[in-house]
Amino acid sequence: MEQDLFGNPIEPQKIKTIAKIGFNKIEGGEFIYYPNYFEQLDSDNYYSSMCDNIIWNQEKMNMYGKSVFLPRLTAWYGDAEKSYKFSGIKLNPHSWTPELLEIRNKINEIGKVSFNSVLLNRYRTGNDWISWHQDNEKELGINPVIGSVNFGATRKFQIRHLKTKEVIDILLHHGSLLVMAGALQHNWQHQVPKEKNVSEGRINLTFRVIL
């Protein structure tokens, strides 16, 4: 069996299922998944315009006392007074662009909330990634609704139950929408692993309600 840094055995991941289209009720959480939420042409336009017009940054975070670059580019947009902290980084938002507002207004209906900010992640190739985490910062409230929109390369998004270690794979395609809700952020972590065979870029937008 594989071992971690300290020689303890790592249980093989239990991949259970591929997410089904629409509403998914799972143990200790829920999500809604629409693989083709946006039209192809709109998605193409959003992708190229965001590559050019979003103010992208490669932030640094502190890891074991060292300052290291995040393995992806990020940007934070939203209502002026809503700043956001993650991994020790504090981001003040840029103001909404017309297309971010357009997307926000469309997905508000699905999430049944009014999103007031969005964190954008740009994965330049399959070497960029985000490791296991929960979106459980206190400014997101108790059971946050997170609306995740995807353009560009298809990447595998995984959620893993904290206790059972069950893993569900969700393929996030060009134009897809994933809404995470209920107690999901308490009981499940998520990640976008590296994928060595992906050479194209991907942009992910996670719309959030900052209290």
Ligand X SMILES: O=C(O)CCC(=O)C(=O)O
Residue numbers of the site for ligand X (CB under 6 A)?
Answer: 119, 121, 130, 135, 148, 157, 172, 190, 192, 204, 206
Which amino acid is residue 26, in one-letter code?
I
Q: Is 137 in the site for Mn ion (CB under 5 A)?
A: no
Q: How far is the CB of 22 from ligand X (least distance, A)?
A: 19
Q: How far is the CB of 6 from ligand X (least distance, A)?
A: 27
* SS3 (DSSP) at 98: helix
Q: Is 139 in the site for Mn ion (CB under 5 A)?
A: no
Q: Is 135 in the site for Mn ion (CB under 5 A)?
A: yes
> Between residues 45 and 110, which has the closer beta carbon with respect to Mn ion?
110
> Between residues 26 and 155, which has the closer beta carbon with respect to ligand X?
155
Q: How far is the CB of 192 from ligand X (least distance, A)?
A: 5
Residue closest to ligand X when measured from CB atoms: 204
Q: How far is the CB of 73 from Mn ion (least distance, A)?
A: 15
- Rounded-to-integer distance, Cα 67 and Cα 163, Å: 31
- The 10 Å Cβ neighbour count of residue 200 is 13
Query: Tokens in use for 35?
Result: 């693989």
User: Cα separations (Å) of 198 from 24, 52, 120, 125, 195?
Assistant: 27, 21, 19, 6, 6
- Rounded-to-integer distance, Cα 180 and Cα 24, Å: 10
Binding-site ranges for Mn ion (CB under 5 A): 135
